[in-house]
Structure 1
């Protein structure tokens, strides 16, 4: 009897915080990957962008001496992956979770609000790792041969990009209706991919517009990754722009995010 009572008592205890966060991250990751629309956004479109930029001459005027089209394309496509997962994907999912009361329910469980946010961030990191492997593997198959130090150096940079865009996405998802969140995030994704300094340097834009776009997290992220892979250098100014977006977006999210 005592053994049965002890077993029942142990099974009734709440899981530890790391276990709860890991379970939430697993749920968030599976939800993002299994959703057909999100799979298109997270995987298919970045791969199509990589192939399209490689087989056309769109990036030829931006290629440094000795660099291939893949060398120029991959950094931008990796940033596009982060925007897809951290900004659009997680933002849309959070917006509809909020609409259907999922956020309000989960915030009252032992997971708590902090655990819920931690689970979302962990899920984004997992999805980003999968995207990196798929994009990097596809590019390697096509002939991409990056410097190992550049690959290792890109990881913390992409994490900074993810933190900044997650903050912006959560802010939109937590202050607007789900339908508006869906429309805005998809529209912004297209705008940033086309003219936000992600796939193409801002030098293609007119002077004053280029200056304004340089202040966006998308342009800062694109410049940061291109400097890392193409020049093997750390770009300070884009890092400061991204850090500012990360701090301000998360501060605004903490202040104005609505759980219902």
Structure 2
């Protein structure tokens, strides 16, 4: 007489982690990847800090320093604007473009993380890196004599977030519609142009009148103006904020419409 067959053991069910934990893990990976990459570190941290030292120790900003203030008071808002451009546009655009090329985006979009979780993770990573940039720029600025009004520091945070929203949308739009190599070339070229003559490090009024009004309508010019107004006068005017809001809405609408995951 044969022994009765033993029932097969049911393997334990493996449920995915909660969405918040998945997003946190993805954002941590994205942020560390950006900060550990040598080229990204140069773009995100080293070049902005070098720009702050150069603008503070040379006379490039002397014509734009209001009475009673110093070069570093004008330099720090511009460098923080450069940090947003480096992080949300160039850094994230390049990383997303190559993730798309190698199939990483398509793979992750089919995991429990999903497309929404992946994009959220990227946004959180951008904010985390921006916080690191702010601390480093602020610390170096303080060493160079920067003494901002604490209220202006608080006001600058939502201004930077609005700028980050606009530039992230533009970066994702570019990364999701053209080849990775083209994304790399375009983002680097745009970074150089906007840093030099896009109202980022230098106020738009330093340009010829025929160009200054156009620069004010760029996201870089609007963010640079809003940041300088925040730290030099206490609060930004409405126009640059409206320009940034329009750019953010248009960029994200276009990214949702035309972004390709592979």
Shift of residue 200, structure 1, vs aligned partner? 0.6
TM-score using structure 2 length: 0.95
**Structure 1: distance between partners of 2:147 and 2:253:** 39
C-alpha distance in 2 between matches for 1:111 and 1:71: 43
Pairwise CA distance, 1:217: 0.2
Contact persistence 2:173–2:258 (CA under 8 A): yes
Correspondence 1:4-153 to 2 at 5 A:
8-9=12-13, 12-153=14-155
| CA–CA separation in structure 1 for the residues paired with 2:183 and 2:235 | 36
Deviation (angstroms), 1:5:
7.8
Q: Distance in 1 between the 2:232 and 2:179 partners?
A: 41
List aligned pairs for 1:165-204, cutoff 5 A.
165-204=167-206
In the alignment, which residue of structure 2 is the partner of 1:158? 160
TM-score normalised according to structure 1 size: 0.96
Superposed displacement of residue 233, structure 1: 2.1
Unaligned 5+ residue runs, structure 1?
none
Aligned-residue offset at 1:207? 1.4
**Rg (Cα) greater in structure:** 2
How much has 1:250 moved relative to structure 2?
0.2
- Distance, in Å, in 2 between the alignment partners of 1:205 and 1:139 is 26
Tell me the SS of whatever aligns to 2:112: coil
Match of 1:258, SS? coil
What residue ranges of structure 2 are gaps of 5+ in the alignment?
1-8
More deviation, 165-174/201-210: 201-210
Q: Distance in 2 between matches of 1:123 and 1:186?
A: 20
- Equivalent position of 1:244 in the other structure: 246
Aligned residue pairs: how many? 254
1:144 to partner: Cα distance: 0.8
Equivalent-residue separation in structure 1 for 2:116 and 2:253 (angstroms): 14
